[in-house]
C-alpha cells in the first residue's frame, strides 16, 4: 500500500465516521464533549418512562431503609411474626 492510498483510506474512514455521527444525532458542545441529541419522540418517551421507574425505585429504597433502621426493635417483632406463623402451621 503506497502512502497515497493510505491517505485516501484515512479520509474515507473519517468521512464515514462523521456521517454516522450525524445520522445518530451525536453533537459536540463548545468544550468538545460529545452528546447524543434525543429528537426522536420514541427516545423521549423511553427516557420519561425510565425516569419514572428510577423515582419509584428510590421510593422503595427509602421504605426499605426505614424498615431496616426502625427503632421499635424490629428483630423482636420479626421473631414474634415468625413464631406466630410456626404456631399456625403446627395447629
Residue holding cell 456521517? 19
CB 53 within 8 A of CB 67: no
Name residues of the chain where pLDDT drops below 70. Answer: 36-39, 70-74, 89-91
Q: Which three cell numbers stand for residue 44?
A: 423521549
Residue 11's pLDDT is: 94
Residue 9's pLDDT is: 92
Residue 39's pLDDT is: 67
Number of Cβ atoms within 10 Å of the Cβ of 43: 13
Residue 26's pLDDT is: 74
pTM confidence score: 0.41
Of all helices (H) and strands (E), which one includes residue 51?
helix 41-68
Amino acid at each position: 500500500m503506497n502512502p497515497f492510498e493510505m491517505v485516501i483510506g484515512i479520509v474515507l474512514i473519517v468521512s464515514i465516521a462523521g456521517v454516522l455521527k450525524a445520522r445518530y444525532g451525536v453533537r459536540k458542545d463548545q468544550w468538545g464533549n460529545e452528546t447524543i441529541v434525543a429528537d426522536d419522540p420514541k427516545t423521549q418517551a423511553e427516557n420519561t418512562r425510565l425516569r419514572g421507574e428510577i423515582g419509584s425505585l428510590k421510593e422503595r429504597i427509602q421504605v426499605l431503609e426505614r424498615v431496616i433502621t426502625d427503632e421499635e426493635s424490629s428483630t423482636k417483632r420479626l421473631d414474634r411474626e415468625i413464631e406466630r406463623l410456626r404456631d399456625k402451621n403446627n395447629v
